[in-house]
Amino acid sequence: MTGPGLQRPQTLTDALLVVDITRSMNTRDMAGMSRLDFARRALTDWIATRPCGSRIGLAFFTERRSLTLFEPVEICADFASVKGALESLDWRMAWEGDSMIQKGLDHALRRAEGFGVPLIFITDGQEAPPLPYSDPARFAGNSPGGVILGVGGDQPAPIPKFDDLGLETGFYEAGDVQHAPARFGEPPPDASERPGWHPRNNPYGEADLEGSEHLSALRADYLSSLAADRGLGFLRLSEGPAALDRVLASHATGKTVTVTRSLSPILATAALVLLLTLWATGSRRITLVRKETT
C-alpha cells in the first residue's frame, strides 16, 4: 500500500463452518423460513462482516459425518465462491437419512483440528434415530474450540416430507419415525416392568413405541451439554453476528495482525472540500465585483 496510513491491530478468527442439512432442517419455524434457509442467510451475513485476512472453510453434516466442500480460504478474495457454496447447500445432498448429531459433531471437530481452525457447527440438535437410554458418549479428542449454533424454534413443529423426486408431499407422522429412546444399547432399569417385556424377544418393553419425534424443535439443552463437554460455546443463531463474535472470541483462539488503514480517501475528501470552498469563495468574489462594476 502506498501513501500515508494508520496502523492498528486486527483480530482474525478463522473457522470451519459445518451445516446440518438433515431433513429436520427443512422445518419452517424461523419466521416462515426453513432452518436451513435461515442458516444460509445468517452465515452469509456474518461472513460479510469478517475482516479481510479471515479464513472460512465449509462442510455439511448428515448421517454421522461431515463432508468438507473446501478448506479454509481467505474471505475477501473468495467471498463470491464462499457465498455461492453456502447458497447451494440443500437437503438433497445428504447420502443418508440419519442424523447422529453427537457423532457428526465429533467428526467435525477432528476435521477442524486437522485444519488448525475453530469449529462452527450449525444444527437443530435432533438425533435420528433418537439417542438410547444411556447418556451420550464423552468426547475423547482434542477440541480446537468454537461454537455450536442452534437453529429452530422452541415449539415442536411438523417436518416436511418429500418424495423420491424431491416434491413435498406433506409432513412426517408418528408412524413414520422411530421414537425416543432408541432401541439399542442397554435397556432401561425398569424395562421388566413395561408392557410386552421379554428378556430375549423384547428387552425394552413397548412403552416407547409412541412419541413426538415426527415433530421438531431446537434441542437447546442437549446442544449446550454437548458444547460444554467439548470446550465449545453455544448460541442461538438468531441472536445475530455480534453475539456470535462474542461467544467465538471466548471459545476460540484468534490471531492478531497489524493492518494499515489508508488515509488517502480522507485526504482526498478534505482536498475536494477545500477546492469546492475555494471555488465557491472565488465565485462569490467575482459576483460581487460584477455588481460593483455595474
Treating both helix axes as pointing N-terminal to C-terminal, what angle do 35-48 and 241-251 enclose, rounded to 10 degrees?
Answer: 70
> Can you tell me whether residue 114 is helix, strand or coil?
helix
**8 A C-beta contact, residue 205 and residue 194:** yes
Give residue 209's pLDDT.
57
Give residue 144's pLDDT.
94
Give residue 259's pLDDT.
46
What dihedral do alpha carbons 180, 182, 187, 191 form, nearest 10°?
40
- Name the more confident of 234 and 135: 234
Asked if pLDDT for residue 61 goes beyond 60, the answer is yes
175 confidence band (pLDDT: 50, 70, 90): confident
Asked if pLDDT for residue 64 goes beyond 60, the answer is yes
Determine the Cα–Cα distance for residues 213 and 270; give it in Å rounded to an integer. 64
What Å distances lie between residue 25 and 89, 125, 152, 259, CA to CA?
11, 10, 8, 39
Give residue 4's pLDDT.
58
H or E element at residue 17:
strand 15-20
Determine the Cα–Cα distance for residues 211 and 215; give it in Å rounded to an integer. 9
Determine the Cα–Cα distance for residues 28 and 129; give it in Å rounded to an integer. 21
3 confidence band (pLDDT: 50, 70, 90): low
First to last CA, the chain: 54
pTM of the model: 0.80
Burial pattern 173-192, b for ≥16 Cβ within 10 A else e, equals eeeebebbbbbeeebbeebe
Asked if pLDDT for residue 191 goes beyond 90, the answer is no
Asked if pLDDT for residue 285 goes beyond 70, the answer is no
Pairing of strands 146-150, 119-123: parallel
281 confidence band (pLDDT: 50, 70, 90): confident
Give residue 224's pLDDT.
96
**8 A C-beta contact, residue 123 and residue 21:** no
Lowest-pLDDT range, 41-55, 68-82, 113-127, 197-211? Answer: 197-211
Neighbour tally for 216: CB within 10 Å: 26
260 confidence band (pLDDT: 50, 70, 90): very low
Lowest-pLDDT range, 179-188, 189-198, 253-262? Answer: 253-262
Give residue 252's pLDDT.
82
Give residue 211's pLDDT.
76
Give residue 256's pLDDT.
59
- Bridge partners (DSSP) listed for residue 216: 157
Determine the Cα–Cα distance for residues 175 and 271; give it in Å rounded to an integer. 73
Percent of the residues in the chain that have a pLDDT greater than 70, as a whole number: 78
Determine the Cα–Cα distance for residues 43 and 237; give it in Å rounded to an integer. 9
pLDDT, tens only, 113-122: 999 999 999 9
